[in-house]
Amino acid sequence: MSDDTKALVRSTALRLFRERGYAATTMRAIAQEAGVATGNAYYHFASKDHLVQELYLDVNREQTVAARAVLARGGDLATRLRGVLLAGVDAFEGYHAFGGEFITVAIRPGSAASPFSAESSESRQMSQAIFRELVDGATPAVPSVLRDELPELLWLAQLGVTLFWVYDSSPGQRRTRTLIEGIAPLIGRLVRLSRLPVLRGAADDVLALVRAVRA
């Protein structure tokens, strides 16, 4: 019964997020809509921010299914990256009207809804795993010097694309799709060029910076 209640609170919250947005969806409103006591809702989810984690997981699962269909077709890094980024935009589509609210919550210091928070670890790992599959299966192979770090860098690039998408008011977020069509081949080209001695030093500097920031 407890698991059933948790699932009900979760599904109700995600529906209300889509219909009303983050700000208008209070824990009390979620509980009332689900037909449970407010304290019961808090028992399963410590705060509304923790329910945003469930939104992230839903979106990441949807992106993963669509992205794996793209990755199964093979291809070079640029083609695979384009497909994965577009799958992410498509998965978030139902929340676009309220995207700015979620960004405001996510960037708040200490927020459980931050993509970098401990609470976000499951969704973050799921998302980064897709980029790992993207890199590992690319043809031609990604240079070994970049192979370990590139999935995380591509995940960070996706966060940037998502931020652009949130504020993209063009019909169907056309400008975001144009951005993806442009940056995917650009990244693919830069990765190929990293094999050249003249750019190897720059690539090493980028990787060293990533490791320093992560430490």
Tens-place pLDDT, residues 5-50 = 899 999 999 899 888 888 889 999 999 999 999 999 999 998 888 8
pTM, two decimals, is 0.86
* Structural tokens at position 125: 């790992």
pLDDT tens-digit map of 151-210: 999 999 999 999 999 999 999 999 999 999 999 999 999 888 777 555 566 666 666 665
**How high is the pLDDT of residue 22?**
86
At 89-148, the pLDDT tens digits run: 999 998 888 888 888 888 888 888 888 888 889 999 999 999 999 999 999 999 888 888
Answer for the pair 162, 55: CB distance below 8 angstroms, yes or no: no
Band (3; pLDDT cuts 50, 70, 90): confident
Exposure string over 19-43, b if 16+ CB within 10 A, otherwise e: eebbeebebebbbebbebeeebbbe
DSSP 90: H
Q: Sign of the CA dihedral 29, 32, 35, 37?
A: positive
**pLDDT at 146 (0 to 100):** 86
- 54-98 tens-digit pLDDT: 888 889 999 999 999 999 999 999 999 999 999 999 999 988 888
User: Which secondary structure element, helix H or strand E, spans residue 148, and what is its range?
Assistant: none
